[in-house]
């Protein structure tokens, strides 16, 4: 009995222990399930959802760009087809498949492999293959869907540039992001399908213009079939609109005035730094720039239409004499009413430096030296009285040698030489001939048309220069054009060494250029009083029949405030001698601006611009300025 009782007790004990183990096991399992489903359930549901979800980008709409009048866009968006591929869904021979698809799309395999490198072959996310796909290609692929697994397409918005021509240099263009750009911009929210600004304001303000793409999530099974609930969606954020300081009508006026000639024109408001026109010719069509053949033709064009001349440096030639006049007056290096005799040539060391007027100008004071653009007057003042140190100081005071900081990438700084620079870089001492060349804006010194516009602005504003800018306002596209931000005038520099009296005398001398000097016969507009300075630089012994020409000026001369004035700079590159293109073009631009006229209307009043001989009545000496204003080669 005791044995049976003992045996029964052992069995009950074992059963109890087993029950405890089972209960403990189920309790642990229950607690773990509770932990997984309740405590961490949300986390795991999200993880499961991510594994089973597919993300589709909803493209946003890039912001539009307007001129200062905001009446019609310069850049807008039009419908376009974009083709995408899900590489992981291609189960056949990928190389053969990709070659066939590239052939349909007119792409090289190099281009295709850049879009879909081998590391992406197993990706189940859509990858953009090509934008701007023709409707015919989309139709063909739709008819052969069974032969092209993984292909999807969508209708998106393509950039349309309504203001082409010279505005292409200002606005720029957009394109697909490349690998090097993606490495730099990935952390800013860009991906390999991003469309970004490549040049111009499209690049400068890409962050504001691009907006933010939306997302649509759909759930699929292991065979990529859609399952589950309705897709979740994050709507896109529209890009902001830009309003420029540019006046479309003035831009067109400048562009047509330059016509077939290579060069640049800048029109700005000196009281604010607003750029009303920034023209570089020849130009290009932003709508076609991504076409390989078109781009290759532009790149190989000897006239270099991709080069923005408005922000690129050239010798300023005799326009530099306005700076020379400022330095001479402010330092009292030479009395403004004292005269120097110009015989047509001076000798510095063993070199002869010729004036543009072969017979010389005779006796000239400072105002006459500016008005007649006398080389020998300024070479004498520069070498004997002013000195290179003062010339360099005042050139830099005006901002030469430094970028203006305009909101446009690619601006060059220009250059102001010095004796120290020449010794360090040329391994040669600075000579009197170098000072003579610098005194007439030749030699090593260079400046951009935009920098020369700032020089004139400083003269007009009695020493203050406002930073040039192209952006006027940023508008919210969702709030009926509500202004988000405006660009306020920013002082770029303010002279502390030049007096208002000096600037007044320089303005008077520039007015005399138009009244009786080198611009007298071509600056004919009756609508407004103009003041300015001409300049002509020779291109070397291999191009003796060609010159670069300048006109820098402002109007109205008699305005009560700089708020009512505009600065106009015209640079014309590589033109035949004796044709006076720069001041003639400036005459039409100024007439059009103050008469509110188109180029065609200005021509109707001033005469055809496309004439090759100087106007009747111009003296032979005045005509010769364009042919030999600078030093002749020894």
Tell me the per-residue pLDDT of 178-221, one tens digit each, with 9 for 90 and over: 888 888 888 888 888 788 999 999 999 999 999 888 877 766 65
Share of the chain above pLDDT 90, in %: 59
Q: Does 536 lie in the same domain as 416?
A: yes
Residue 50, pLDDT above cutoff 60:
no
Residue 632, pLDDT above cutoff 50:
no
Residue 539, pLDDT above cutoff 80:
no
Q: Does 152 lie in the same domain as 255?
A: no
Do 474 and 243 meet the contact criterion of CB atoms below 8 Å apart? yes
Last residue of a domain, one of 112, 141, 158: 158
Q: Does 21 lie in the same domain as 131?
A: no
Q: Does 135 lie in the same domain as 25?
A: no
pLDDT tens readout for residues 373-420: 999 999 999 999 999 999 999 999 999 999 999 999 999 999 999 999
Q: Does 372 lie in the same domain as 499?
A: yes
Q: Is the peptide bond before 556 cis (omega within 30 degrees of 0)?
A: yes
For the four alpha carbons of 476, 481, 485 and 490, in that order, the dihedral sign comes to positive
Tally Cβ neighbours within 10 Å of residue 417.
22
- 62, part of any domain: no
Range of weakest confidence among 35-44, 247-256, 618-627: 618-627
Do 482 and 475 meet the contact criterion of CB atoms below 8 Å apart? yes
Pairwise CA distance, residues 352 & 346, whole Å: 6
pLDDT of residue 540: 65
Beta strands 226-234; 214-220: pairing state? antiparallel
Any idea what the Cα angle at residue 263 is, between residues 257 and 269, rounded to 5°? Answer: 70
- 214, part of any domain: no
**Domain of 339: which CATH number?**
3.40.710.10
- 321, part of any domain: yes
Q: What is the DSSP string of 441-505?
A: T-TT-BB-HHHHHHHHHHHHTTSEEEPPBSEEEEEETTTTTEEEEEPPP-EEEE-SSS-HHHHHH
Beta strands 73-85; 65-66: pairing state? antiparallel
List CB contacts of 249: < 8 A, sequence separation 6 or more. Answer: 598
- 408, part of any domain: yes
Phi, psi of 74 (to 5 degrees): -85, -30
> What range defines the domain where residue 94 resides?
78-158
- 63, part of any domain: no
pLDDT tens readout for residues 238-284: 999 999 999 999 999 999 999 989 999 999 999 999 999 999 999 99
- 113, part of any domain: yes
Do 321 and 369 meet the contact criterion of CB atoms below 8 Å apart? yes
Range of weakest confidence among 4-13, 139-148, 308-317, 332-341: 4-13
Q: Does 288 lie in the same domain as 140?
A: no
The pTM for the full model equals 0.81
Bridge partners (DSSP) listed for residue 574:
none
Q: Does 93 lie in the same domain as 12?
A: no
Beta strands 351-354; 362-364: pairing state? unpaired
Do 423 and 429 meet the contact criterion of CB atoms below 8 Å apart? yes
Cα 128 → chain centroid: 28
Bridge partners (DSSP) listed for residue 117:
none
Last residue of a domain, one of 138, 158, 178: 158
Q: Does 132 lie in the same domain as 9?
A: no
Pairwise CA distance, residues 393 & 540, whole Å: 28
Pairwise CA distance, residues 157 & 61, whole Å: 7
Q: Does 95 lie in the same domain as 29?
A: no
Q: Does 16 lie in the same domain as 146?
A: no
Pairwise CA distance, residues 372 & 509, whole Å: 10
> Burial of 184 by CB count in 10 Å (0-12 exposed, 13-18 middle, 19+ buried)?
exposed
pLDDT of residue 554: 98
Do 83 and 133 meet the contact criterion of CB atoms below 8 Å apart? yes
Q: Does 18 lie in the same domain as 82?
A: no
Q: Please give the tally of structural domains in the chain.
A: 3
- 99, part of any domain: yes
What six digits make up the tokens of 43? 């986390």
Q: What is the mean pLDDT of the chain?
A: 87
Task: Tell me the HSE value of 43 on the side-chain side, using a 13 A CA sphere.
Answer: 5
Q: If residue 353 lies in a helix (H) or strand (E), which one and from where to where?
A: strand 351-354
> Dmax over Cα atoms in the chain, in whole Å?
151
Number of H helices and number of E strands within the chain? 23, 23
Last residue of a domain, one of 123, 158, 193: 158
- 236, part of any domain: no
Q: Does 35 lie in the same domain as 83?
A: no
What six digits make up the tokens of 30? 């229950």
> Burial of 175 by CB count in 10 Å (0-12 exposed, 13-18 middle, 19+ buried)?
middle
């Amino acid at each position: 009995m005791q044995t049976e009782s003992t045996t029964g007790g052992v069995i009950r004990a074992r059963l109890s222990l087993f029950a405890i183990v089972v209960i403990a096991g189920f309790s642990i399992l229950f607690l773990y399930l509770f932990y997984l489903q309740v405590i961490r359930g949300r986390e795991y549901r999200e993880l499961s959802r991510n594994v089973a979800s597919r993300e589709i980008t909803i493209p946003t709409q890039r912001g539009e760009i307007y001129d200062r009048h905001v009446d019609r866009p310069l850049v807008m968006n039009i419908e376009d087809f974009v083709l995408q591929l899900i590489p992981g869904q291609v189960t056949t021979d990928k190389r053969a498949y990709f070659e066939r698809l590239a052939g349909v799309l007119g792409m090289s395999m190099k281009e295709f492999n850049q879009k879909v490198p081998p590391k992406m072959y197993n990706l189940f996310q859509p990858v953009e293959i090509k934008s701007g796909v023709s409707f015919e290609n989309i139709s063909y692929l739709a008819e052969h869907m069974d032969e092209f697994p993984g292909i999807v397409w969508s209708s998106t918005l393509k950039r349309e540039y309504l203001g082409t021509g010279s505005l292409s240099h200002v606005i720029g263009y957009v394109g697909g992001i490349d690998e090097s750009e993606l490495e730099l911009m990935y952390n800013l929210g860009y991906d390999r399908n991003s469309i970004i600004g490549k040049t111009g304001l499209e690049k400068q303000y890409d962050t504001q213009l691009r907006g933010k793409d939306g997302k649509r999530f759909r759930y699929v099974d292991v065979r990529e079939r859609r399952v589950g609930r309705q897709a979740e969606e994050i709507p896109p954020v529209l890009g902001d609109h830009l309003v420029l300081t540019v006046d479309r009508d003035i831009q067109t006026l400048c562009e047509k005035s330059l016509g077939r000639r290579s060069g640049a024109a800048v029109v700005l408001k000196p009281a604010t730094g607003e750029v009303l026109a920034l023209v570089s010719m020849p130009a290009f069509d932003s709508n076609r720039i991504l076409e390989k053949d078109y781009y290759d033709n532009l790149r190989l064009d000897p006239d270099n239409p991709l080069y923005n001349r408005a922000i690129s440096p050239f010798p300023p030639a005799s326009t530099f004499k306005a700076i020379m006049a400022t330095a001479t007056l402010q330092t009292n290096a030479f009395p403004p009413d004292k005269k120097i005799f110009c015989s047509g040539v001076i000798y510095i060391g063993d070199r002869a430096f010729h004036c543009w007027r072969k017979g010389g100008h005779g006796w000239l004071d400072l105002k006459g030296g500016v008005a007649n653009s006398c080389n020998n007057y300024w070479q004498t003042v520069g070498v004997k009285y002013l000195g290179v140190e003062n010339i360099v100081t005042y050139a830099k005071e005006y901002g030469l040698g430094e970028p203006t900081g305009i909101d446009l990438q690619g601006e060059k700084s220009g250059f102001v030489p010095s004796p120290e620079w020449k010794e360090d870089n040329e391994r040669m001492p600075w000579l009197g001939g170098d000072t003579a060349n610098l005194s007439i804006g030749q030699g090593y010194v260079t400046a951009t048309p935009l920098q020369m516009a700032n020089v004139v602005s400083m003269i007009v504003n009695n020493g203050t220069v406002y930073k040039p800018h192209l952006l006027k306002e940023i508008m919210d596209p969702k709030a009926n054009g509500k202004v988000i931000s405006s660009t306020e005038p920013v002082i770029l520099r303010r002279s502390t060494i030049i007096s208002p009296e000096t600037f007044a005398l320089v303005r008077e001398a520039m007015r005399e250029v138009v009244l009786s000097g080198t611009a007298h016969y071509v600056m004919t507009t009756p609508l407004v009083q103009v003041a300015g300075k001409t300049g002509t630089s020779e291109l070397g012994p291999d191009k003796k029949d060609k010159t670069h020409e300048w006109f820098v000026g402002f109007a109205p001369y008699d305005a009560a405030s700089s708020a009512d004035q505009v600065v106009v700079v015209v640079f014309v590159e590589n033109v035949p001698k004796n044709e006076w293109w720069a001041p003639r073009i400036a005459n039409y631009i100024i007439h059009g601006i103050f008469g509110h006229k188109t180029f065609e209307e200005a021509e109707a009043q001033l005469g055809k611009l496309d004439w090759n001989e100087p106007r009747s009545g111009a003296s032979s000496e005045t005509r010769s300025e364009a042919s030999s204003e600078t030093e002749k080669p020894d």
